[in-house]
Amino acid sequence: MEDPKMALPSDSAQSPDDSPSNLDSAPVRAQNITKQYTGGTFTAVDDVSFELNENQITCFVGPSGCGKTVTLRLIAGLEYPTYGTLTVYGKQIMGPGPDRGMIFQAYTSFPWLNALDNVAYGLKIMGVPKAQREEKARKFLKLVHLEKFENYIPRDMSGGMKQRVAIARTLAQNPELLLMDEPFGALDAQVRWEMQEMMIEIIERDKKTVVTVTHDIGEAIYLADRILFFTRQPGKIKADIELKFKEGKRFARKEDLICQPGYAELEARLFAMMREEIHGRQNEESAVCVADLE
Ligand SMILES: Nc1ncnc2c1ncn2[C@@H]1O[C@H](COP(=O)(O)OP(=O)(O)OP(=O)(O)O)[C@@H](O)[C@H]1O
Ligand SMILES: [Mg+2]
């Protein structure tokens, strides 16, 4: 992975400015961002612009290699755009920050710490006293239904439990933006939907602004208020889809969403779009069909 310091936004780029008149209400604003590698010969993300809305769950969907993770890492401040401007509440992203919490696909717990200490770890780094951070960590362990397992170390936990610990640790730091890169990708189907439902419960409770990445169309429709669908490499935004059929609601149980009018049409549309990106866009008939559904 490239060293982020090597790619810090240049002096000529817009300087960070957090004076009240310049504060932007958009949690994230991407203006014409391009991310290139290998000295500019490979373009992962190509001239992408979007604005995220407060308290919305936005899901990045698209074929493998289309730049979903790269875009999320740019928002996290783990990498920097080659061109374009990327801001969080109007401030140019200059690196990772406590305002953004990232949850990765791979479990990211410390193997030698038990669940309680893993969740409390970020708070310890932030200087929160022991009694306070343990109280907070217990609260978040309860939220992810692990209150009985605070003494377990990761070796003795299932994949789902480990991912719950990672989620609790991120939430305990109270980020304004929750960034999730295929957070349930390593889990089996049953644990996966339990985790999706748990996530909806948490997001509804804490009113978070969330960006989540998935390959899984069912997961995207269940979690998202809005889907940004990426084209295959180089990644551009193919479609920006508000999930209007949900009528602003989020569903505690997946089966209640699946029988909503509009679900099947959206699912079919997303499968068609995915097929189009995977197999190329030569099939004009299919392209017209997708456009008709816009
Ligand atoms: N540090 C890097 N150096 C060179 N190329 C990179 C780097 N990081 C990502 N890429 C390339 O950028 C492209 C987009 O990668 P990215 O990880 O964002 O894909 P993705 O959409 O998340 O795919 P997947 O669904 O498989 O996770 C890929 O072709 C990848 O090889
Ligand atoms: Mg990825």
Integer-rounded Cα radius of gyration of the chain: 20
Please give the Cα distance from 143 to 165 (Å, whole number).
10
- The pTM of the full predicted model, rounded to 2 decimals, is 0.87
Q: How confident is the model at residue 84 (pLDDT cuts 50, 70, 90)?
A: very high
Q: What's the mean pLDDT when you consider all of the chain?
A: 87
- Is the pLDDT confidence value at 280 over 90? no
Q: How many CB atoms lie within 10 A of CB 139?
A: 14
Surrounding ion ligand 2 within 5 Å at CB are 69
For 81-144, the DSSP string reads -SEEEEEETTEEP-S--TTEEEE-SS----TTS-HHHHHHHHHHHTT--HHHHHHHHHHHHHHT
What are the strands, taking DSSP E only, across 38-93?
42-51, 57-61, 83-88, 91-92
Taking the chain, what is the end-to-end CA distance rounded to the nearest angstrom? 37
Sign of CA dihedral 131, 134, 139, 140: positive
pLDDT at residue 291 in the model: 43
What percentage of the chain exceeds 90 in pLDDT? 67
Instruction: Tell me the range of 27-36, 152-161, 253-262 where mean pLDDT is highest.
Output: 27-36
DSSP secondary structure letter of residue 10: P
Which of 69, 78, 180, 231 to mutate for ligand 1's pocket (most ligand atoms within 8 Å of CB)? 69
Per-residue pLDDT tens over the stretch 135-179: 999 999 998 889 999 999 999 998 889 989 999 999 898 899 999
| Pocket around ligand 1 at a 6 A CB cut-off | 1-2, 37, 42, 44, 62, 64-70, 215, 233
Structure confidence at residue 285 (pLDDT): 47
